[in-house]
Structures are given as structure tokens and as C-alpha cells.
Amino acid sequence: MENSLNKEQIIADLLPQKFGRRGVIWVAILVGFCLVGLFAYYRQARYGLIVTSMRDYASWGIYISNFVFFVAISLVGSLITAVLRLTGVSWSTPLTRISEIIAVSAITFAAIIIVVDMGRPERFINLLFYGRLQSPIIWDVIVITTYFFISLLLLYIPLMPDLKIMIEAKQKEGKKVPKFYLFLGSFWKDTFMQSRLSKRAIHILCIAIIPVAFCIHTVTSWLFATTYRPGWDSTNFGAYFISGAFLVGAGAVLLAMVVLRKVYNLDKYITNDHFDRMGKITVMLGMLYLYFNVNEYLVPAFKMKKSEADHLNDLFTGSFAPVFWSAIFLNMLLPITILLFKRGRRPIPMFIAGIMIVVGAWFKRYLIVTPTLLHPFLPMHNVPKSYLHYFPSWEEWAIAMGSLAGALLVITIFVRIFPIIPIKETISEFHETTHK
């Protein structure tokens, strides 16, 4: 952060700004995707899951891939906000709120997409009344709900001082303060006791969110690992999923950093130093995920058990090979290579690396879910041809794209109404830096 900044300048820079023309077009595109997704879901609700390409074998398709992707990306909240905060890393302050809003938005759509995957969504309520505690699906429902509330609190509590700043700024300008802001933040007086309680709450949340975040993705991995199938029968799945989740979360933050810095002229707050440090973290996470991938694929490939051979061969050299190798290169090898060098840890290369990581991660989830289902232990005999392959129908694509657009829309709306970089904390850090 530049030392030439003063309090007024920081507030002026970081208060939410109205959308320009580009912002309106962006929102319109997202709303368009959401509407098409809603229409596709209407068709699915009207005609049933037959409108999808999911059949008896590939009973989990891109909805579940999307679910795993959303859960993964939501883990960024715990990484940036909690892990870095607890370890005393101060440079991450401008990235904490971006991470939390990505987490809240992603976990919301993870919950939505799992209901979309149900042929009879009204039966979701049965999970609450008749769910078995022995089932990992119930654990997933509980842990997703818990993570959602923790993320929401971790988003809201540090936002309270900024809401006061926003209310004061509006009053200073003589503008009417929306009731929404008043309800959320008018009680914040910035007293010693309030600050103390707020700090305690944030500290507790940062501690609580880490095990819950680990649980959420471990339990998601257990939905697969507790099912005896080629490719899922692994004791490594929890760690494999968590490392992948941290990587895709970091990739999403890279993208958000570049876009928000460019759109809102935040060069003074999201500096090249932030990119450099975030790039180094991403390289570390990429290597960690690569390590788990080597374990997941190389070890079974070395043994090539007959029951697993079809699945592995199909991934390495068969019909899934183009997607598999693209995912490995896009999600891990290329971003690691780019970000390993100092010149790669600049906004434009990092934006490219971020896109690679996120897109590669989405396809990686698809590869975890679908090829396994198409390679059961018992061969598929005497089944209709449509059962042997899976390619999503237009309704599935539309719903999946609609949900991704929905998540981006939530982030966009948040950026419009709340400061995306914590104002109060930035001012405090500025004071600390200048006093030193």
C-alpha cells in the first residue's frame, strides 16, 4: 500500500461504486444465463430427469461435478481469511472480503445445485425427517449448512465497521441512507468494547472455520470414497480433495484480484506485491495438488488391477484422455510453470493462470465423477445404448452455466453494495505503517 494515502482518500477509493456501462452489460449477460438456466430447470421439473443425459450408470453428471466444484471453491474463505489471519500474515487484508464473498456465493450454489440434481426436489425435506445419521449425505447436508453460517458470520462481522463508514459517508453527502445499511450497521459505534467483542468473534470464527472447511470437503470426498468403485476406492480422497479445493480457491482469488483491481482502479490496494505473494501461494498449492494426483493415478496405474484397468486406460489413452490431460495441464502444470517465475506473478499472466486453474478444476471434477460411473466392476450388458455413454444434454449445460452465472451475479451484487476491500482494516494498517 502506498504511504501517500490518507484516511479520506482510502474511504473515497474503497466505497462501493455504481456500475458503468461495462458493469451493466456484465450483469445483463449473467442474468441472461440465469434465465436460460431457470427455463431449463423448469423443463427438468416439468418432464423429469429424462431431459438430462443421466441414466442408470452415469447417474451423477455435471450437476454433481458442479457441486464438488462449488464446494471446492468455497474453501478459499478459510484459506485466505482464516489461515493467513491466524498466522499473522497482514498482506492478505485486501483479499479477505473477496475470499469470503466467493465462499458464501459458492456454498450457496453448491446447496442449490444438489437440489437441482434431485428428480423430486420436494423430497429434500425427507432428509431432515428421515435421514440416516450413518449416511455421508446427511453429514454433507449438516456440514454445508454449518459452513454457510460460519462464512456468513465471517463475512458480516468484519463488515460492521465498514458499514458505519458507508453510512457516515452517505450522511456527509446528504444522501438518504438505505434502511438495509442502517439495519446491518447503524449500531456500530466503534467503541472499545465493540471492537474487543468483534475481534474475539472474528478470532473464534477463524479457528472454527478451518476444521469445518476441512470437514466439508472431506465429507464431499467421502460421498465418493465410501462407495466401492474404480477410481473412488481410495483412502487418500479427503486430502486429495482439500488440496484441489485450496488450489481452485486460490485460482478464483487470482481472477477476482485482477478483475476488481482493473475495474475499480485498486492498484494502490491490490499491489504487485500481493500478486507476487498470492502467486507463490498458488504455486505451493498447485504442487501439493499435483503430488496428490500422482498418488491417485500413478499408484493404481502401476498395479493396473483388472477391475481398475478399463477406467484408468480410458482416462490416460481412451475417450476421456483429451479432457484428462487438458485438466492436468490447465489445472496444475501450466499455472505452476507460469507462476514459478517472477515475471509470471504479474496481473496479466496471473489472470491467464487463474482462468486455467478454474476451468481445469471444473473439468477435473467432471473427471472424478463421470468416468468412474461408466466403468462399473460388473460389465454393462444388455442395456440401451444411451446407458453406455454420457454427454450432458442442453438442459444440463444450461443449468450448470446458469448456476455458475448465479454465483458470479451474487459476487457482482455484493461488490456493488459493499466495499470489496475492508476499509477500516486498511486505514488501521495504513496508520500502523506510517507510525512505524
Partner 1 sequence: MKPLISKYFGMLALMLVLFGSTVVFAQGADKSNITIDIAYYVLNNRVPYLVITTKTKVEKKFIPVENMSVKVFMDKDSSGNMLGSIGEVKTNYKGKAVVMLPPSMKSNWDALERHSFFATSAETKKYGSADGELTISKARISIDTADDRNIKVIVTQLKNKEWIPVKGVEVKIGIKRFDSYLPVGDEPTYTTDSLGVATAEFKKNKMPGDKTGNIILVARIEENDQFGNITAEKQAPWGANYVYTTTYGERTLWSTRLRTPFWLLVLAYSIFLSVWGTLIYLIVLLLKIRKLGKLDADQV
Query: Which stretches of the chain bind partner 1, using CB under 8 A?
Result: 130-134, 139, 142, 146, 149-150, 153, 157, 160, 186-189, 191-194, 197-198, 200-201, 204-205, 208, 212
CB of 148 to partner 1, least distance (A): 11
All three cell numbers of 183, joined, read: 439495519
Any residues with CB less than 8 A from the CB of 167 and at least 6 apart, and which? 177, 181, 182, 185, 186
Comparing CB distances to partner 1, the nearer of 184 and 359 is: 184
All three cell numbers of 291, joined, read: 503430488
Cα–Cα dist 271/261, whole Å: 9
CB of 398 to partner 1, least distance (A): 36
Comparing CB distances to partner 1, the nearer of 196 and 431 is: 196
Comparing CB distances to partner 1, the nearer of 205 and 350 is: 205
Question: Are the beta carbons of 400 and 33 closer than 8 angstroms?
Answer: no
CB of 32 to partner 1, least distance (A): 37
Any residues with CB less than 8 A from the CB of 23 and at least 6 apart, and which? 263, 412, 416
Comparing CB distances to partner 1, the nearer of 213 and 404 is: 213
Comparing CB distances to partner 1, the nearer of 194 and 326 is: 194
How many other CB atoms are there within 10 angstroms of residue 107's CB atom?
Answer: 26
Comparing CB distances to partner 1, the nearer of 187 and 394 is: 187
CB of 157 to partner 1, least distance (A): 7
3-state helix, strand, coil in the chain (%, to 5): 75, 0, 25
Cα–Cα dist 81/63, whole Å: 28
Angle at 206 between CA 205 and CA 210, to 5 degrees: 105
SS3 71: helix
CB of 224 to partner 1, least distance (A): 17
Any residues with CB less than 8 A from the CB of 14 and at least 6 apart, and which? 266, 269, 419, 420, 421, 423, 426
Comparing CB distances to partner 1, the nearer of 197 and 388 is: 197
Comparing CB distances to partner 1, the nearer of 6 and 186 is: 186
Comparing CB distances to partner 1, the nearer of 126 and 319 is: 126
CB of 188 to partner 1, least distance (A): 6
CB of 20 to partner 1, least distance (A): 35
Helices (H) and strands (E) in the chain, counts: 19, 0
What is 195-239 written as a DSSP string? HHHHHHHHHHHHHHHHHHHHHHHHHHHHHHHTS--TTT--SSHHH
All three cell numbers of 112, joined, read: 442449490
| C-alpha torsion 156→160→162→165, nearest 10 | 150
Question: Are the beta carbons of 357 and 331 closer than 8 angstroms?
Answer: yes
| 22, amino acid identity | R
CB of 281 to partner 1, least distance (A): 27
Comparing CB distances to partner 1, the nearer of 197 and 294 is: 197
CB of 50 to partner 1, least distance (A): 25
Any residues with CB less than 8 A from the CB of 198 and at least 6 apart, and which? 157, 158, 160, 161
CB of 135 to partner 1, least distance (A): 9
